[in-house]
Amino acid sequence: MTASNGLTIRPERLHRRIDELAQIGKLGDTGVCRLALSPEDLQGVLLVKGWMEGAGLQTRIDAFGNLIGRLDGKDAGKPLLMAGSHIDSQPYGGRFDGVIGVLGALEAVQTMTEQGIVPEMPIEIVAFCDEEGCRFNKGLFGVRGLTGALEEGELERADAAGVTRREALLSFGGDPAGFEAAQYAPGTVSAFLELHIEQGPVLEAMDRPIGIVSGISGPLWLTVEMTGFAGHAGSVPMPMRKDALVGAAHVIIALNELARSVPGAPTVGTVGSLTVFPNSRNIIPEKVTFTVDLRDIDMARRAEREAQLRRVLDDVTARHGLTYTVREDTNSEARYCAERIKGVMRAEAAGLFGDEPPELMSGPFHDSLAMSQVCDYGMIFVRCRDGISHNPLEYAAPRDIELGTELLYRTMVRLSTGEGG
């Protein structure tokens, strides 16, 4: 039975949970700092775990730190339907990023049980560990662990305080020795669904509450270290300097220009972190380390921009008497959503809205990016005010979140009862 507001889900329960989770790691009036594998992250995971158990799900925290809630279906042997996202945050984050994907999926499956709907296959709701990647400078940890895509040395990555991921994971209750056993065998998951705020301005510009994602741009993360020679700021003549910061500035400007070089293309390039050594007012900078985030849905175009950037590095360092190294931290290809899942979403949205929502690309990566390597996936975007995210001002209207969750619920019903192809 559908409620008088056009929804089957219970909005008041959904919003109460969002608000309660936002109190853990609360930053100012509206922000959140709940870093991956921190005490605040664990407190949040345990809170959501309790809600899952109250909804009748079987729960566990796996070796990678993922929280998993399971609802059995009629046939335990069928590949399962999975939905979720993450609840870890940026250090200066908002309360909706990732969270509505976990709590929206929980609301959807809880509504299914309350409506007496028994799925054909098992359903799992997952809060993946360390999607953001800001603490250990490499994200999607939990989902890549579950899918067998971790890389050598990831546990030895250290945060700013020198704590390694291994140490943090052990404190969290994870178990590196259990990684192999915790991986999902190929074919275990039939489809993955993720509800997420858009983190951009497109839906707001269209005046549309939700959108269907067509695919995720491929992110390339690099760390560049440029080295020159320190000297007294007052006595070394300008032509004789080997100023690493000047070199870095030229490269950063070039990256911005390269990303803008094709009008209308969805290429984006960002330097979001920069450190200077020795970082003194009157010393010529000897070493500068900065990050590069380069993304595009077109992998050939992204490769061309990377090659151009590396040529810029060669040219700038040669002209300024510098040396440099580049470390690749993340390199993921663009991935497109499954047509069969988008078809279900379009059909269900037509019944909910009277028409089909717009389709749009995702520039940010999500847990869906890693899940796309092992199964079909689909994403629903919820409009966010001014396109702001990774900021305490991040905001999504309650009604928009409700509509996104209702569409997620209806899609899950269709896919889990065998009606979605």
The CATH number of the domain holding residue 324 is 3.30.70.360
The Cα–Cα gap between 337 and 340 comes to 9
Smallest CA-to-CA distance from 31 within 119, 74, 92 is with 92
Q: How many domains does the chain have?
A: 2
Domain endpoint, select from 331, 359, 388: 331
The predicted structure's pLDDT at residue 5? 73
Question: Phi, psi (5° rounding) for residue 307?
Answer: -60, -40
In the numeric block, which tokens belong to residue 325? Answer: 């190294």
Q: Are 218 and 295 in contact (CB under 8 A)?
A: yes
The predicted structure's pLDDT at residue 420? 54
Q: Kindly list the distances between the CA atom of residue 165 and the CA atoms of 13, 46, 81, 115, 152, in Å, as whole numbers in the listed order.
A: 34, 20, 29, 42, 13
The predicted structure's pLDDT at residue 419? 64
- More confident of the two residues 221 and 5: 221
- More confident of the two residues 354 and 312: 312
> Which CATH number belongs to the domain containing residue 152 in this structure?
3.40.630.10
β-bridge mates for residue 194, sequence order: 379
Segment 25-44 mean pLDDT: 98
238-257 pLDDT, tens digit per residue, is: 999 999 999 999 999 999 99
SS3 string, 203-226, reads HHHHCCCEEEEEEECEEEEEEEEE
The predicted structure's pLDDT at residue 365? 84
Predicted structure pTM score: 0.84
- Rounded CA Rg of the chain: 23
User: E strands within 41-115?
Assistant: 58-61, 67-71, 80-86
Residue 5 lies in a domain: no
151-205 pLDDT, tens digit per residue, is: 999 999 999 999 999 999 999 999 999 999 999 999 999 999 999 999 999 999 9
Domain endpoint, select from 311, 331, 351: 331
Q: Kindly list the distances between the CA atom of residue 125 and the CA atoms of 146, 233, 309, 416, in Å, as whole numbers in the listed order.
A: 13, 57, 40, 13
Domain shared by 367 and 410, yes or no: yes
Domain endpoint, select from 331, 347, 373: 331
65-115 pLDDT, tens digit per residue, is: 999 999 999 999 999 999 999 999 999 999 999 999 999 999 999 999 999
% of the chain at pLDDT higher than 90: 92
Could you give the 3-state DSSP secondary structure of residue 170? Answer: helix
The predicted structure's pLDDT at residue 350? 93
The predicted structure's pLDDT at residue 2? 44
Domain shared by 141 and 42, yes or no: yes
Residue 4 lies in a domain: no
281-299 pLDDT, tens digit per residue, is: 999 999 999 999 999 989 9
The Cα–Cα gap between 23 and 29 comes to 10
Task: Identify the domain containing residue 190 by its residue range.
Answer: 11-217+334-416
Mean pLDDT over the full length of the chain: 95
Q: Write the CB contacts of 255 (distance below 8 Å, at least 6 apart in sequence).
A: 269, 270, 271, 292, 294, 309, 312
Domain shared by 130 and 263, yes or no: no
